Structure 1
Amino acid sequence: MAEGDPQKSDGDSTVLIPLNAAEGENLPVALVEKLSPLHIVVLGYYPVPSQAAPEQVQSDHENEATAAIEGAVSQFADRGAEVESVVVFTHNKDETIDHIAAEYDVDAVLTPSDYTEELTRVLVPVRGDENLDNIISFIIDLLRQSNIAATLYNVAESDGEASRGELLLRGARDRLAENGIDPNRVEWQVDRGESPGDAIVTTAQEYDVLIVGESEPSLRERIFGRIAGHVVDRVDQSVLVVRDT
């Protein structure tokens, strides 16, 4: 475990894992095993009541907060992962996640779920060219060092959109193959529907983890995006949100 200045390895994606440092929690073993080859930043955010000063709460609870995330940090360190940790006492969790994600230049933010008992299949909703390069780069890093299979997914409202969606997904699959990912591990699927968020939530039930791209530049949506935020709030699976950097 390292603290202080952010560090990042060449060639490996960085994943930010925000955890509530007032509670303490370990992560599902399946998530830890599959993410350990990547660079991990564990963020322990400690919620501060609006009427309290963060500095005072930190003075009273800093050791407690650090100990609360130590279990999660050790899960990665014990598997030889490159893992850093940071504890922040904050009035605003989302703002803190946003700030730390930028400071550590992370590629994806994890919303973990206790329901992730295994990680063999991931669903990757793709809306268009936006953020596609970053999504593909992250998938390459994740699949290259695991046996995970991925399904590239698009929701179209018309026949024309379905055709464009198919071209988009086929092109993304080809790019993964060009970077050494076995095409047999990557499927693509285009569904028709008027609500992409609803379609993603329904299809996600068949998968272990979702990988979605951020889009909108508002505070919460800068991390989660409008559709991604809608999905994160409604699925039981863990979600990895790939940042648009």
Structure 2
Amino acid sequence: MTSFETLKTNSYYLLVQDLDINEVSEPFNFTNFIIYFVLGLSVLINIVLLFIKKNNRRHKSTSSGSKRDHDAWYNTLERNNNQLKNENRNLKSKIFELEKKLAVKKEERKDFPVENRIQPTISSPVIEQQFVDEKPRTVEFEVMKPTVIYLPSPFEDNRFSTEDVSNEQMPTSLYQIILDASNTTGKLLIIENADFTRALNSPDHYLEKACIYENAFSPNANGINIVEPGKVKLENQDWLIIQKIKIKFI
């Protein structure tokens, strides 16, 4: 801006000086006219360039402001989405705890014997009361089958998500947990009739997070045998692997 004002002042000074000289010496000089025209044109070009530069700055500031608004909007949506996911996990955990308590109460009611109520009878002193021997009763105990749940690969090392649990074997199921009576611990196994194609193609994703190898992995392996089952326990929203499965490639 300072250079522009200096140029404008010098141009005006030269214009006045030349006008004074021309009034004294010559009535009209074509060379001076060209010089004045070039100076005027340069001033006009500087004004246009300055105007374009200001518009570019305004455009950049507007673009940066809209980008910041879009980033803030996206971050807000992402926070809300994460909050909804956490609330969903908490609700599922509460429902699971309630179902577990309800199952325990049902088991307690089954085990609680029903007391036979003896109603007093009024008997005559002359008539003797006769007691009939009851026939022996056969009590049958129902053996409860252990509950089995099915899971795909762990979402991280030593952890399965409860959101991936299914009560039936699915095409993506690779592991199964045989639950104990508490339903909070269990035995971890690989499903023997599962499709091991993906597991053998990507063992680092499907196997290493939940298994230890007895022999070295081979790309030419056709199947997997369980040498020793693993152990898991329920921890918050996840099934935590406390002992990995020992497997052998065949």
TM range (shorter): under 0.3
Larger Cα Rg: Structure 1 or Structure 2?
A: 2
When normalised by structure 1's length, the TM-score is 0.20
Of Structure 1 and Structure 2, the greater helix share is in 2
Greater relative contact order (CA < 8 Å, ≥ 6 in sequence): 1
Of Structure 1 and Structure 2, the greater strand share is in 1
When normalised by structure 2's length, the TM-score is 0.20
